[in-house]
Structure 1
Amino acid sequence: MKIRVTRAFDPVANQRSRAGPLLYRDTQLNADVVKVLPAEYFCTERDLALMTVLGSCVAACLRDPVIRLGGMNHFMLPDGEVTDGVPARYGSHAMELLINELIKHGARRERIEAKVFGGGNVLKSFTSQPVGTRNSEFVVDYLRKENIQVVSKDLGGIHPRKVCFFPVTGRALVKRLPHAHEDAVAAEEIAYKDRLKQTQVAGSVELF
């Protein structure tokens, strides 16, 4: 089966080659896995797993169960003006991009269902308008307005998460990472913020 894929690359978040997706074999899952990084999205009809690790970010896993086509995005912030050519960084654009890609490859909007994950407030010191909470509220509100059914969700809290989504079957696996992993995920998001400071980012949202 031919893989159908659209992937958005953020040059700030992703320094590896743009030649293709990061595809590897996971022996524990007994599946081929594509890793979806921040500000990326991936759509496919191939029988594989889409995997990402989330701190304050949110991943929306969308699927048309009739044609067994699905995808995942990974966005950093609820919304913002695209000034750097990376629209998938923002939830308002990342959702539209993924939905349009599904429709482009045969999905029907009225059949699309969603599973959403992430939005953890993983930094204890960040309490004023936490981005994780805002990301969680955004994705639920967006899907409600778009009349897309949320069939399952795991949002909020303080833990980072590892998420695996199987577009063909719709199966989703979520692992809340222990506090031993919390510092590593938070450090990755802080490092992302530091790299963003070197590029123009619109809006008044504080990144972390």
Structure 2
Amino acid sequence: MPAPSVPLAYFDREFQVPAVKILPGQYHAARSGAITTVLGSCVSTCLWDPVTRVGGMNHFMLPGDAARADAPWAASARFGVYAMEVLINETLRLGADRRRLVAKVFGGARLLAGFDRLDVGPRNARFVLEFLRVEGIHLLAQDLLDVCPRKVHFCVDTGKVQVKRLALVPHEPVVRRERQYLQGLDGKRSGEVEIFMPRP
């Protein structure tokens, strides 16, 4: 099922700030508030300009291929090659300077046995690190790979990102989503919670 085109706005009672929750294929940039998401094999990049304090986050499912302009990822934020470009553009539109952008990246976990063959999480992780290197965007922090889902909370006002590693529960939405996604890829052939760990 496609993600809604508009991320969900809500009030985060834990952090007492207005927030926006993004799903796979979504992105959001802002001058204040928070942006949150839950990741499995997907990857999210948080971009931030420390001078203007403009920031944004995306959530993509596969890298995509920049060489194929006619492919589905040419205009879909489900693919990293597009999700990164539109996120950069959204932060610039709100006043960020590309030369000052810094990044923090998260996700790329292996939640299901079937993903061993498709290598989705590691592919996403390798893609985002290489993209940032090529684009000259400084990487401040990363929490990639492993075998657990993550909840990511990005405070745009401060640039601080907090990550909560979640227990792998078979019926959790993120696990169901991963399973449905894996089945879709095959068809096309192509607990407990740890405390928040602040990232610098």
Same fold (TM over 0.5): yes
Task: Tell whether 2:50 aligns with 1:70.
Answer: no
> Which residue matches 2:12?
26
Is the contact made by 1:122 and 1:182 (CA closer than 8 Å) also made in structure 2?
Answer: no
- Which amino acid is 1:54 matched to? L
Of all paired residues, the percent bearing the same amino acid is 44
What is the rounded CA distance, in whole Å, between the counterparts of 1:63 and 1:87 in structure 2?
Answer: 22
- Provide Cα deviations, 1:23-61, integer angstroms capped at 9, x if missing partner: 111211212221001001101102x11010000000000
Tell me the secondary structure at the aligned position of residue 122 of structure 1.
Answer: coil
- TM-score, with length taken from structure 2: 0.83
Deviates more, 1:94-103 or 1:63-72: 94-103
In the alignment, the residues of structure 1 paired with residue 85 and residue 173 of structure 2 have an alpha-carbon distance, to the nearest angstrom, of 30
The equivalent of 2:96 in structure 1 is 107
Match for residue 125 of structure 2 among 128, 136, 150? 136
Residues 53 and 160 of structure 1 are in contact (CA less than 8 Å); yes or no, is this contact kept in structure 2? yes
Which segment drifts farther, 64-73 or 105-114? 105-114
Superposition deviation, residue 192 in structure 1:
4.1
Structure 1 segments unaligned to the other structure (5+ residues): 1-11
The total of aligned residue pairs comes to 186
**How far off is 1:177 after superposition?**
0.5
Instruction: Output the amino acid matched with 2:22.
Output: V
Closer, same or farther: CA 95–182 of 1 in aligned 2, 3 Å = farther
Structure 2 unaligned runs (5+)? 191-200
Residue of structure 2 aligned with 1:166, choices 146, 150, 155: 155
1:121 aligns to 2:106 (yes or no): no
Residue in structure 2 matched with residue 4 of structure 1 by the alignment: none
Task: Tell me the CA shift for residue 120 of structure 1.
Answer: 0.3
> What is the identity, as a one-letter code, of the residue corresponding to 2:139?
V
State how far apart, in whole Å, the 1-side matches of 2:73 and 2:50 are.
34
d(CA) in 1 for partners of 2:173, 2:79: 23
Deviation larger for 154-163 or 26-35: 26-35
Q: Distance in 1 between matches of 2:115 and 2:79?
A: 20
Q: Which amino acid aligns with 2:146?
A: G
| TM-score normalised by length of structure 1 | 0.80
Inter-partner Cα distance in structure 1 for 2:107 and 2:134: 20
Indicate the RMSD between aligned Cα atoms, in angstroms: 2.4
Q: 2:130 and 2:143 mapped to 1: Cα distance? A: 15
Give SS of 2:159's match. coil
Distance 1:136 1:83, change over 3 A: closer
Q: Which amino acid aligns with 1:63?
A: W
- Please say if residues 159 and 182 of structure 1, whose CA atoms lie closer than 8 Å, have aligned partners that are also in contact: no
Correspondent of 2:36 among 45, 51, 57: 51
Whole-Å separation in 2 of the counterparts to 1:143 and 1:134: 14
